[in-house]
Amino acid sequence: MIGPQNSKYMRPFVQHRQLNLYATPPHDCSYLPGNEATTIFLDPYMHKDPHLYSNLSSQGFRRSGDHLYRPHCPNCQACESVRVPVWDFSFSRNQTRTWKKNQDLDILACAPVYRAEHFQLYRHYIAQRHKGGGMDDPTPDTYMQFLTSHWADTCFYEFRLEGKLLMVAIVDLFDHGLSAVYTFFDPHTQYAQRSLGRYAVLFEIYEAKRLNLSWLYLGYWIQDCQKMRYKTDYKPLEHYIQGEWQRKKTTE
């Protein structure tokens, strides 16, 4: 998890247009075993707002808590920021089936505040889907520090079936798009056929269009990382490569 506790280990990276960036020391890559990773962060003490966030998102940055960051590995460019141009998106057959299966869900947009019901679902999801991944045994404080920010325009979308909470999707709103920050859902096998994670992305694409925005940002895609491959299911997909957004064909 990215947080202020890491700041004392950072070293100045570059100053450009009055933006101070800091780089972490090399550390084990959490996506590609055996690789080293380096991350650059915007100065944690700098004033931030959704407009700055929007500009930096268009340059491949992401948010974790109050921090804006981007991978910057000297010997590896595997992490590619990706986004869906929502007005060009078209459903595949599988996505159409997923969309139809979940039309019985009630969706409510909620303020980004702590709710015990959300947290219990999050704990259950982490224990089942990401055990041993460094996020075990979260507390209410670490949960909120990870997902929320005092300066971002964040929404928690609830997805319920006959009153039961099945999923929460955390989404940031900025000038030209939405950013899919994180999604957690009930991992019980009885809901597996709903493909809730897939439905969350489809809903976020729909929501971006409803808000007359241009893109849904999905974070980083890594070709050789299995858990990242789902992102290429949303077509067309734009990749941020060498300072430019471009559409490219993938093998997934």
CA 106/CA 162 separation, integer angstroms: 8
3-class SS of residue 99:
helix
Task: For the chain, give the number of residues.
Answer: 252
Query: Of 9, 45, 49, which is closest to residue 149 (Cα–Cα)?
Result: 49
140-192 confidence digits (pLDDT tens):
999 999 999 999 999 999 999 999 999 999 999 999 999 999 999 999 999 99
Cα 125 from Cα 185, distance rounded (Å): 6
Give which of 186, 168, 179 is closest to 129, Cα–Cα: 186
Q: What is the pLDDT of residue 100?
A: 98
Question: CB atoms < 10 A from the CB of 15, how many?
Answer: 10
Could you please report the per-residue DSSP string of 170-204? EEEE-SSEEEEEEEEE---GGGGGG-HHHHHHHHH
CB 171 within 8 A of CB 207: yes
- In this prediction, residue 160 carries a pLDDT of 98
**What is the DSSP-derived secondary structure letter of residue 33?**
T
Give, for all 252 residues of the chain, the pLDDT tens digit. Answer: 333 333 333 444 444 457 899 999 998 988 898 899 999 999 999 999 999 999 999 999 999 999 999 999 988 989 999 999 999 999 999 999 999 999 999 999 999 999 999 999 999 999 987 665 556 689 999 999 999 999 999 999 999 999 999 999 999 999 999 999 999 999 999 999 999 999 999 999 999 999 999 999 999 999 888 888 899 999 999 999 989 999 977 554
pLDDT in the model for residue 8: 36
Q: Max CA-CA distance within the chain? A: 52
Write the single-letter amino acid at 209: K
Superfamily, domain 83-247: Gcn5-related N-acetyltransferase (GNAT) (3.40.630.30)
Which pLDDT value is given to residue 130?
67
CA dist 164 → 106, 107, 118 (Å): 10, 11, 11
Task: Report the C-alpha gap between 247 and 111 in whole angstroms.
Answer: 34
Alpha carbon distances (Å) from 92 to 99, 137, 235:
10, 37, 9
Specify the pLDDT at position 9. Answer: 37
**Amino acid in the structure at residue 239:** H
Ranges of each domain in the chain = 4-79, 83-247
